[in-house]
């Protein structure tokens, strides 16, 4: 699912205006042997008239973005939990 944003991701205002539209591009880390066959998606920038946040103008479903995202974060998470215990006030 690829949808244009309808509200600001910062303040939730609906006063969001497109300020830059680029040609469609493949997902950032989707490397294809044949670039002519790569799936492309709209990309641009939108500006919130209320808070001034500049943000991507389209929302791409995370299942598309992370379709081939192979990551094992358990060792990192385990390490962060151990390190957190060393900080005063975080002994949980």
pLDDT digits 0-9 by tens, 25-80:
887 766 667 767 778 889 999 999 999 999 999 988 877 776 666 565 556 677 77
pLDDT at residue number 30: 65
Average pLDDT for 7-12 = 92
**Domain ranges, ordered by start, for the chain:** 2-84
CB 52 within 8 A of CB 44: no
What H or E segment, with its residue span, contains residue 88?
none
pTM: 0.63
Q: What is the largest CA-CA distance in the chain?
A: 55
């Amino acid at each position: 699912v690829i949808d244009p944003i309808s509200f600001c991701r910062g303040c939730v205002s609906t006063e969001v205006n497109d300020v830059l539209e680029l040609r469609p591009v493949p997902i950032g880390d989707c490397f294809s042997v044949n670039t002519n066959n790569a799936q492309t998606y709209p990309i641009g920038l939108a500006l919130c008239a209320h808070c001034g946040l500049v943000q991507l103008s389209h929302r791409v479903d995370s299942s598309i973005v992370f379709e081939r995202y192979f990551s094992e974060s358990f060792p990192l998470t385990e390490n962060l939990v151990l390190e957190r215990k060393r900080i005063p006030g975080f002994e949980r």
